[in-house]
A and B are shown apart, each in its own frame.
Chain A
């Protein structure tokens, strides 16, 4: 009787303790949002929604708009995903499906090592190795290609292309590690079933990829989240010029970079509040991206059985 009483009490204690920890996270997110909002009041009142659409950033005149920074952040992150996703998937498939076990450990170790390198080191490598290399590519661009807006502008080396490349390299270890784990969690029976139906190796891998696709989308989104917030390495190679352009060769700017660059020296309250509002925009944007990716994953998880059966048949056929 007594033991049971204490047992119940432990249960309640345990449940409420873990519940409080879980609530702490939510409270933390809300507190950050509130603090950002409060510290950017001046700028919100002054510019309103214009802040999202204005492409002027002029600390001297006191005019601030976030558009070029939002553009630069999204553009560089999406480019980085376009570059990194095929490579990360390739690494994941090779390591989990094709690679001889002896090589696997080395490969896994090396890709995970990439994730452990501090961002400032990537930035230095970017300035001294990647940027000169990119400049050579830009110098070698034939004239007819420069007509395309994507490749217009003088060959500076620093700019969107360098930023996207360095982001891609930084994101690869994250998305490939998650994708690898997801692929390994595909039940062996699925593969054996595919082989039993006469599938080739390529077809069996395709089947496994399809089976694991929610997890893989999650891996890619994890990389996207990291790319959005990456600061140091990007600011060192992107050229830090707030402008909205499609050109890969043009210097541009990201939200995280302008915060890191201008916060310490910001004079004047409006300027400071405008910078904090950039932080708020980044915060909201990250939330939106996460919510969308969550919803994407849920909707795919919900329809898995039906679609999967059809695809398995197709893979086996």
Chain B
């Protein structure tokens, strides 16, 4: 019965927008309804599903399907035209942009952060790290917990002489991209020997699959150090360390410190929103943070879907932001929202 009413209202909605040429609406790949398909990053999936569900309550005729296939797959499918919109944890590269049928609009939706987690029995206080120290650990140059470099930052902790077992993500991941992006900014050595991408050639360590795999390995291995998403650490109540930011302060990741990082970066936000906010300026800013983006073609073929998605994006950037905090994401700073609402007008709806 409900399905019937959805179909009916969809048909009504379609016939209502009779201004558009008839071929266009009949050429919609989704059939009669307003089901719009997207694919991309796994990291923002919880908030996107929440948004799509809430938006569907407000507009019962709009159904948005999102497949969390990974950022790379999302970009590929957008370029191939198999989905209407993509989503990614890293901005598209210039050569990828060049392959798109029209310009691609990057729309930051929420923010996330990556936190260092470790397993040291007998250490009650949380450990402090600097960026260069984290880079040296990942590179295998600092490989004992009682190394002077660790001890200097944590004078109160009784650090054992155990080996540091580095744990990283085994699969390509936006989390790895943000982590590497930060380490490359603070350590020239990391930048030159490892570099930045969503999969890396790791000098040392073992790979765990997904946040859950990394967390499980860290929890089981004495002396382990790994990195996971803040959302995941908060939901599973995993303790994590503080990291020194660009202003020299040690900051723990939280929704507030991540928002502060975005605010710090907002001052010199480029017009296309393709920006990295790791190591952001600001006293309170947490340094390993990132936007996650929705990707739209600026001149999409299907104008009906374009109108619906532009409307949805407007809602997500304003009313939708209130759902972010509960799920562990940081909402966008108002300055960024204002810029984005303006940028949304670049999508050609006619």
Contact = CB atoms under 8 A, between A and B. Distances in A.
B198 A135 contact: no
A56 interface: yes
Contact of B195 (A60, A257, A262, A266): A60
A156 B165 contact: yes
A58 B202 contact: no
A158 B224 CA distance: 12
Given A60-B200, A236-B209, A262 B216 contact: no
Interface residues of B, number: 34
Contacts of B96: 267
A135 B170 CA distance: 20
A61 B165 contact: no
B206 A156 contact: yes
A267 B197 contact: yes
Interface stretch (B30-38, B68-76, B277-285, B325-333): B68-76
A293 to B, nearest CB: 31
B199 interface: yes
B201 interface: yes
A58 B298 CA distance: 34
A158 B206 contact: yes
Interface in A229-273: 235-236, 239-241, 251, 257, 260-267
A59 B199 CA distance: 6
Most A C-beta atoms less than 10 A away, residue of B197, B208, B216: B197
Given A131-B220, A135-B221, A265 B170 contact: no
Contacts of A257: 170
B172 interface: yes
A189 B199 CA distance: 61
A154 interface: yes
B205 interface: yes
A63 to B, nearest CB: 8
A19 B275 CA distance: 59
A127 B167 CA distance: 14
Contact of B172 (A127, A128, A157, A264): A264
A132 interface: yes
Contact of A262 (B163, B194, B199): B199
A57 interface: yes
Chain A binding site: helix, strand, loop or mixed by DSSP? loop
B201 A61 contact: yes
Given A154-B165, A239-B206, A267-B96, A127 B200 contact: no
A157 B170 contact: no
A261 B170 contact: yes
A265 B207 contact: no
B201 A265 contact: no
A131 B196 CA distance: 30
B336 interface: no
B32 to A, nearest CB: 31
Interface string B178-218: 00000000000000001111111110011111000100110
B197 A59 contact: yes
A161 to B, nearest CB: 13
A127 B213 contact: yes
Given A127-B213, A264-B73, 12 more contacts: A59-B172, A59-B198, A60-B201, A156-B206, A158-B206, A235-B170, A236-B213, A239-B206, A251-B206, A257-B170, A263-B172, A265-B70
Which 3 A-B pairs rank lowest in CB-CB distance, beginning with the nearest? A265-B172, A240-B207, A264-B70
